[in-house]
């Protein structure tokens, strides 16, 4: 108990909890829907660790300590839940690279990779090392790292990660990635894996300078796919990517090499006709590497690839370095979202078509930067946008800024002011509430006239489209001696936005 507590030391005033339904305990093979929450201003004690290990209330720790901004451990959250044998695959790579990482099952079925330190180290340095591990392990750049912050203040919350050994779940895996360890075995294993912070730099240096004579010319992604294989979900793009490499590395026999790679490293292999189609496509066109497509985008090591003989360093320049997109923010206005693209600290607001079309974007760029960018192919620009969208921030916008929101607002305003329970008033321009059918009944022209008088110049087709999406229907209704074409709008009593009128009220 105490050793586990001392191992996962971190912030004590802010932490996470995961509470199961009352009376339930975390057991293997049993799935419960618990409630996760962040506790701020509390006081973490050894009893909280005890509750975690007993399987009653899960515990999440913020590794970074305010003021000192140091950590005693850091972690990588691998969320590839659908990857078969994920723990064994990670163990194989960790052992081959001699990385000081311990693999534990995560709550969601992925893997948490922990690095335990013999003494505290700056969080910023540990994050830097963790990002290097991501590249070497072939993980996506967006894979979560803990700590997430390089510095925090006491008034900041920080980010916490769920600890392993919650009851009989989330066990640690042995060096083979297949053997589950008891808590006692886990603590003994960690003692052999703890490293001094200075040793992290040494290990990274060893990896960077390690030379594999059989792979020194190949892009790192080609070596990774050759070693780990390619599974369904990206086989076509992976084989096309390999074809581009084979044409450069094996110009006299590249077609045979593609056929062989498909048979030996693609699971299940593509059919003969599918491979032939890919080869013919590569014969007709000079492609650039598919670096931004899966699975290559998840196993890319750009820095290493630039140094390889057949890497991206030998491709024609594509002007990527000129367009370092800081971030993309999407303002999620219903029906018409707006994007803010930030380049070199300069934000540019634009619609979707402008952002995706290089010809339109360069006009926006010139307006913001007062200079024309260098020419770029549309395909390259789309790759740049794809990469930047991985970290896109999404902001919800008020409903009223959209066309639909404005129509709905106007409709509610109109009905709230003029609703009546006198059916005959429909022909006088009033909306009528049919309580028996829970419907608002009105003539469409009366509502559009109201919109025009209010200064709203909506296209009637757009108005009907919004109302129809809300469940409106049109039909003829007998009112007195005449049949009148009306619109029926559903308005169930529990959802009414107006006070139900009394008989004769206008």
Each residue's pLDDT tens digit, 60-69: 999 999 989 9
Total residues belonging to the chain:
506
Radius of gyration of the chain (CA): 31
SS3 313: helix
Q: What is the CB-side half-sphere exposure of residue 397 using CA atoms within 13 A?
A: 19
Average pLDDT, the chain: 86
In sequence order, which residues have a C-beta less than 8 Å from that of residue 211 and are 6 or more positions away?
A: none
Predicted confidence band of residue 214 (pLDDT cuts 50, 70, 90) = very low
Mean pLDDT on 449-474? 90
Pairing of strands 325-332, 266-267: unpaired
Residue 492 reports pLDDT greater than 60: yes
Give yes or no for a contact between 244 and 324, defined as CB atoms under 8 angstroms apart: no
pTM of the model: 0.51
Q: CA-CA distance, 497 to 451, in Å (whole number)?
A: 19
Element (H, E) at 61: strand 57-61
Mean pLDDT on 377-385? 81
Mean pLDDT on 415-424? 91
Element (H, E) at 440: strand 439-442
Q: CA-CA distance, 184 to 468, in Å (whole number)?
A: 63
Percent of the chain with pLDDT over 90: 45
Q: CA-CA distance, 221 to 311, in Å (whole number)?
A: 10
Q: Of 82-86, 143-147, 461-465, where does mean pLDDT reach its minimum?
A: 82-86
Give yes or no for a contact between 125 and 194, defined as CB atoms under 8 angstroms apart: no
- Determine phi and psi for 398, rounding to 5 degrees: -60, 145
Q: CA-CA distance, 408 to 101, in Å (whole number)?
A: 55
Between 157 and 315, the higher pLDDT residue: 157
Between 142 and 502, the higher pLDDT residue: 142
Predicted confidence band of residue 211 (pLDDT cuts 50, 70, 90) = very low
Q: Of 198-202, 237-241, 484-488, where does mean pLDDT reach its minimum?
A: 198-202
Mean pLDDT on 482-487? 93
Q: CA-CA distance, 340 to 327, in Å (whole number)?
A: 8
Q: Of 31-40, 299-308, 443-452, 495-504, where does mean pLDDT reach its minimum?
A: 495-504
Q: Tokens standing for 149?
A: 């912050």
Between 282 and 114, the higher pLDDT residue: 114
Mean pLDDT on 115-140? 91
Q: Of 101-115, 334-348, 358-372, 482-496, where does mean pLDDT reach its minimum?
A: 334-348
Question: What pLDDT is recorded for position 38?
Answer: 92
Please, what's the b/e burial string for 363-396 (b: 16 or more CB within 10 A of its CB; e: otherwise)? ebbeebeeeebeebeeebbebbbebbeeeeeeee
**What crossing angle do the helices spanning 254-265 and 272-284 adopt, rounded to 10°?**
140
Predicted confidence band of residue 103 (pLDDT cuts 50, 70, 90) = very high
Question: What pLDDT is recorded for position 316?
Answer: 47
* Cα end-to-end distance, the chain, whole Å: 73
């Amino acid at each position: 108990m105490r050793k586990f507590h001392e191992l996962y030391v971190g912030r004590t005033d802010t932490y996470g909890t995961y509470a199961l339904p009352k009376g339930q305990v975390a057991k293997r093979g049993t799935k419960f829907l618990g409630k996760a929450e962040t506790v701020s201003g509390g006081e973490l004690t050894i009893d909280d660790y005890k509750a975690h290990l007993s399987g009653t209330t899960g515990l999440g720790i913020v590794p970074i300590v305010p003021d000192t901004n140091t950590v005693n451990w850091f972690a990588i959250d691998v969320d590839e839940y659908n990857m078969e044998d994920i723990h064994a695959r990670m163990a194989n790579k960790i052992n081959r690279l001699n990385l000081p990482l311990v693999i534990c099952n995560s709550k969601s079925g992925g893997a948490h990779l922990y690095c335990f330190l013999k003494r505290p180290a700056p969080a910023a340095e540990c994050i830097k090392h963790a990002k290097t591990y991501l590249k070497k392990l072939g993980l996506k750049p967006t894979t979560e790292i803990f700590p997430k912050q390089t510095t925090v203040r006491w008034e900041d919350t920080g980010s916490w990660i769920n600890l392993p050994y919650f009851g009989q779940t989330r066990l640690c895996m042995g060096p083979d990635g297949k053997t589950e360890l008891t808590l006692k075995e886990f603590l003994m294993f960690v003692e052999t894996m703890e490293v001094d912070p200075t040793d992290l730099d040494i290990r990274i240096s060893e990896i960077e300078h390690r030379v594999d004579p059989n792979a020194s010319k190949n892009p790192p992604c080609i070596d990774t796919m050759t070693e780990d294989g390619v599974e369904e979900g990206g086989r076509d793009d992976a084989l096309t990517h390999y074809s581009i490499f084979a044409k450069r590395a094996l110009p006299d026999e590249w077609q045979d090499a593609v056929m062989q790679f498909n048979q030996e490293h693609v699971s299940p292999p593509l059919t003969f006709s599918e491979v032939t189609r890919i080869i013919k496509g590569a014969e007709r066109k000079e492609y650039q590497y598919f670096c931004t497509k899966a699975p290559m985008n998840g196993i890319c090591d750009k820095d290493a690839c630039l140094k390889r003989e057949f890497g991206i360093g030998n491709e024609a320049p594509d002007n990527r370095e000129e367009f370092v997109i800081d971030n993309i923010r999407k303002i999620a206005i219903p029906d018409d979202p707006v994007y803010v693209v930030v380049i070199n600290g300069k934000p540019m607001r634009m619609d979707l078509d402008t952002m995706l079309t290089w010809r339109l974007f360069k006009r926006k760029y010139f307006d913001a930067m007062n200079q024309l960018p260098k020419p770029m192919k549309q395909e390259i620009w789309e790759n740049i946008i794809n990469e930047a969208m991985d970290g896109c921030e999404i902001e919800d916008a008020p409903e009223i800024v959209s066309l639909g929101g404005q129509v709905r607002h106007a409709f509610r305003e109109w009905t709230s002011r003029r609703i009546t329970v006198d059916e005959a008033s429909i022909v006088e321009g009033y909306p009528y509430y049919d309580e028996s059918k829970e419907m608002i009944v009105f003539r469409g022209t009366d509502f559009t006239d109201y919109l025009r008088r209010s200064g709203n110049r909506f296209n009637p087709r757009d108005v009907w489209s919004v109302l129809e999406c809300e469940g409106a229907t049109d039909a003829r209704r007998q009112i007195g001696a005449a049949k009148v074409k009306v619109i029926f709008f559903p308005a169930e009593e529990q959802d009414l936005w107006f006070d139900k009128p009394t008989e004769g009220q206008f």
